[in-house]
Copies of this chain bind each other. A is one copy, B any other.
């Protein structure tokens, strides 16, 4: 049976640790090679195991990949949420900046995981069931929308720079609003998407090395400017603290 014993806390712990080690080894290997390629042979070698042993933990290569993708979802979501929550709840502007910066930093630190989620599908991998791609969008965005809700509740959100909203976008906004306590106006919903696109663009270009010709200080300043523009356009207040 593939079902693990139901009463063996010690075993299960070891098993979970091994699973984590496998995933971590896979990630490390991706970081070292700079690609999204993972081979059971490589992982096994790095763990001083033999390839077939891995099949005790993952049915096949795709299952490992799926797990990595799922983890990446969680990682970026947690990373961004933590950065946001580390800033006083009453300083919405600073919270916005924290989200923006953490999104960028995550992409920089983990370009492979970033690509895993936001890049082209990996070779030979078929996405399980319906659109985890869409789910990635949802989860990444949800942290941002939470902040917009906070801003609305605190009454500090100015109207966004762009006021006219296409009916199709308004419809999307309505649909999303059904899951929220505080209603997000369509213009603000649109501004959120603009914000995300803007920050994502910078993160992509930088993570994949297209800004390497600008030194780090310049990139930092450039990004903060981009974030400030985005905040301004979305009606987000300026940060109180530096």
Chain A residues within 8 Å of B, Cβ to Cβ: 33-37, 111-112, 115, 118-124, 131, 133-134, 136-137, 161-162, 164-166, 168-169, 171-172, 190, 193-194, 196-205, 208-215, 217-218, 220-222, 225-226, 228-229, 232-233
Contacts and interface: CB of A to CB of B under 8 A. Distances in A.
Nearest to A230: B198
Nearest to A226: B194
Nearest to A207: B120
User: How many copies make up the complex?
Assistant: 2
B209 A133 contact: yes
B225 A162 contact: yes
A133 B204 CA distance: 13
Contacts of A165: 221
Contacts of A172: 213-214, 218
A184 to B, nearest CB: 15
Contact of A201 (B131, B162, B200, B209): B200
The residue among A111, A120, A123 with the most chain B CB atoms within 10 A of its own CB is A120
Nearest to A168: B218
